[in-house]
């Protein structure tokens, strides 16, 4: 099970690195960059990939899921309604077909402690049971469970902004 989770984390991280690199590739050679990224992802994943670079976004779709990265990213329409999403700018949205999982990256100018407190308050209202929390001052995390699903919230401070990584998946 750990090996499977590490593989998924590695693959998601790989996609994120490629997407970040592609975001800087706005040029006349954009289509070439898209094709090169598609080939790299296909080689790493063993499946088909579609990469689309627009002015402010990078969209990656594979058989394993999808990823959107950039400006003005919207929450996926099928994101679970019973999972609180902190107010801020969504910078990345990843949907994994495996375990019906989502990972959302949010940026806000709020304090780490305020964000953590909001999740500790809001998740139980929607029926989630908090199973663990940690607080390190400039970063914090919490985990929760409901039925056959888990939620993980990781909050960190970077360049005077807080970043929230919200992950939801089936057990």
What's the pLDDT tens digit per position in 110-130? 999 999 999 999 999 999 999
pLDDT for 3: 43
Of residues 40 and 92, the one with the higher pLDDT is 92
Indicate whether 2 pLDDT > 90.
Answer: no
Indicate whether 55 pLDDT > 80.
Answer: no
Residue found by looking up tokens 């990843």 in the block? 94
Q: What angle do CA 66, 43, 78 make, to 5 degrees?
A: 10
Least confidently predicted of 39-43, 60-64, 70-74, 109-113? 39-43
Residue found by looking up tokens 């401070």 in the block? 157
As a whole number of angstroms, the distance between CA 127 and CA 55 comes to: 40
As a whole number of angstroms, the distance between CA 110 and CA 21 comes to: 28
Structural domains in the chain, CATH included, are 1-63 (no CATH), 73-171 (3.40.1000.10)
Of residues 55 and 72, the one with the higher pLDDT is 72
The 10 Å Cβ neighbour count of residue 121 is 10
- Region 129-157: what's the mean pLDDT? 95
What's the pLDDT tens digit per position in 146-167? 999 999 999 999 888 999 999 9
pLDDT for 94: 86
CA 63, chain centre distance (Å): 17
pLDDT for 120: 97
What are 104's two structure tokens?
């959302």
Residues 76, 48 contacting (CB under 8 angstroms): no
Indicate whether 10 pLDDT > 60.
Answer: no
pLDDT for 47: 75
- Which pLDDT band holds residue 58 (cuts at 50, 70, 90)? confident
pLDDT for 63: 72
CA-nearest of 101, 103, 105, 76 to 89 is: 105
pTM summary value: 0.72
Contacts of 83 (CB under 8 A, 6+ apart): 123, 126, 128, 151, 166, 168
As a whole number of angstroms, the distance between CA 133 and CA 116 comes to: 9
């Amino acid at each position: 099970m750990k090996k499977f989770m590490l593989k998924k984390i590695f693959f998601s991280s790989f996609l994120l690195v490629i997407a970040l690199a592609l975001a800087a590739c706005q040029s006349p050679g954009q289509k070439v960059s898209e094709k090169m990224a598609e080939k790299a992802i296909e080689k790493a994943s063993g499946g088909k990939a579609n990469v689309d670079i627009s002015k402010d976004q990078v969209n990656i779709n594979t058989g394993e899921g999808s990823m959107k990265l950039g400006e003005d990213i919207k929450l996926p329409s099928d994101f679970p309604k019973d999972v609180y999403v902190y107010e801020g700018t969504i910078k990345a949205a990843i949907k994994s077909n495996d375990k019906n999982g989502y990972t959302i990256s949010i940026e806000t100018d709020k304090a780490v402690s305020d964000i953590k407190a909001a999740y500790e308050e809001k998740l139980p209202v929607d029926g989630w049971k908090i199973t663990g929390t940690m607080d390190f001052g400039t970063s914090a995390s919490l985990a929760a469970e409901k039925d056959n699903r888990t939620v993980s919230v990781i909050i960190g401070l970077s360049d005077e902004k807080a970043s929230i990584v919200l992950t939801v998946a089936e057990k």
